[in-house]
Structure 1
Amino acid sequence: MTYIPMLAFIKSTSKQKNPIDTISKFSPMFYLALILGFFSPQDLLAQKRDTTNIEQAIENYIAGWRTGNIELLKKTFDLEAGVVLWVDKNGESEQLKSMALSELANGVKPDDGFGIGYTIQDLKIIDSKLAIATIKVPLPRKKSYYIDCLEMQKINGEWKIVLKSFVYFPKE
């Protein structure tokens, strides 16, 4: 027995419109309203507030490092679980190193030129508790710079650096 789809033999006698034609006739305002409908004013306000607070935490990190202000760094870092990672190059070999952020904060010394003119290259708020920022930190006296990748988490309502990894770009 051969199966023949019946739909192939049915002709539409009604004047139905193609749904694609109908959708394409909506005004741009409809699409804007549709998109904005997914974001409540509270969500947009919370995201703006988070962005501002993350940028302030980054500014505190840079200022703490520049001035040697250990207390400012401690306020910015998650001291209980935070970690810094980097690749240490010793001759031809490279090795991944790590240190607790609390240890890093306690060992900071003032560096007048550190981070002046830093730029946030990328900032992504993953959700209301997690963000990732990439910043370029100039070292003017050495004519070099760092690229810091900071994972930040909101802990007890405050954005903290929980993971810092960096790459140093020496003077060429």
Structure 2
Amino acid sequence: MKKIAIALAVLLGLAVPVSADGHKNKAKSEDKAAIETAVFDYFHGQGEASRERLFRAFDAENSSMVGVTRGEDGTEAVRSWKDMTEVLSRWAANDNPPGGDRDGEILSMDIVDDRIAVVMFRSADRFYDALTLGKVNGEWKIIAKAFVLQ
């Protein structure tokens, strides 16, 4: 009987931290899902020329974009876009968008302090994105985008 009581005490002692961590894991999985939603709203929003999805993904008024691009002569240069409202509006006005059924995937995701995340994203064979997302008033938004062409 004493052995059973000890075994139960040990098991119950282990159950307390597990249930406390369960709450943290639930919050982390909710954050992860919300981040994935924002990233794919951007990706599919661009593919579908969906203004609604693009503006839902980005904090358009405050975000920026920087990328390594190629000129017509093949030389690389760094370009930056400070007005994402203009960029997103241009993407949404695309008369011939590539479509929502494109190949893209999240390569990695790091969440720090439950308020900032960095996502590495591959878009088909076109480019790689490093997306920084911030959680503001409970919502995850893309606040910075850096990219390189493949």
What's the TM-score, normalizing by structure 2? Answer: 0.77
Preserved contact between residue 78 and residue 161 of structure 1 (Cα < 8 Å): yes
Give how far 1:114 is off.
6.1
Letter in 2 for 1:104: V
Q: Which residue of 2 aligns with 1:14?
A: none
Distance in 2 (CA, whole Å) between partners of 1:86 and 1:115 is 24
The one-letter code matched in structure 2 to 1:118 is G
1:165 aligns with 2:146: yes
- The answer for the alignment partner of 2:34 in structure 1 is 53
Contact 1:57 1:159 in 2 (8 A): yes
Return the letter of the residue paired with 1:64: G
CA contact 1:125–1:132 (8 Å) conserved in 2: yes
Q: If each structure's helix is expressed as a fraction of its own residues, which one has the higher value?
A: 2
Larger relative contact order (CA 8 Å, sep ≥ 6): 2
* Structure 1: gaps (5+ residues): 1-28, 139-143
**Matched-pair contact (CA < 8 Å) for 1:114–1:137:** no
Residue 69 of structure 2 contacts residue 149 of structure 2 at CA under 8 Å; is this kept in 1? no
2:88 pairs, out of 105, 111, 126, with 105
Equivalent position to 1:96, from 78, 84, 99: 78
Percent of paired sites with the same residue:
25
Moved more, 113-122 or 155-164: 113-122
Does residue 66 in structure 1 map to residue 47 in structure 2? yes
Unaligned runs of 5+ in 2: 1-9
Q: What count of residue pairs does the alignment treat as equivalent?
A: 133
- Report the aligned-residue RMSD: 2.5
After TM superposition, list the pairs within 5 Å mapping 1:1-172 onto structure 2: 33=14, 40-90=21-71, 91=73, 93-99=75-81, 100-108=83-91, 109=94, 110-113=96-99, 116-138=102-124, 144-169=125-150
TM-score (norm 1): 0.68
Q: CA deviation at 1:48?
A: 0.6
Larger radius of gyration: 1
Q: Distance in 2 between matches of 1:119 and 1:81?
A: 25
- 8 Å Cα contact 2:35-2:140 kept in structure 1: yes
Matching residue's letter, 2:145: K
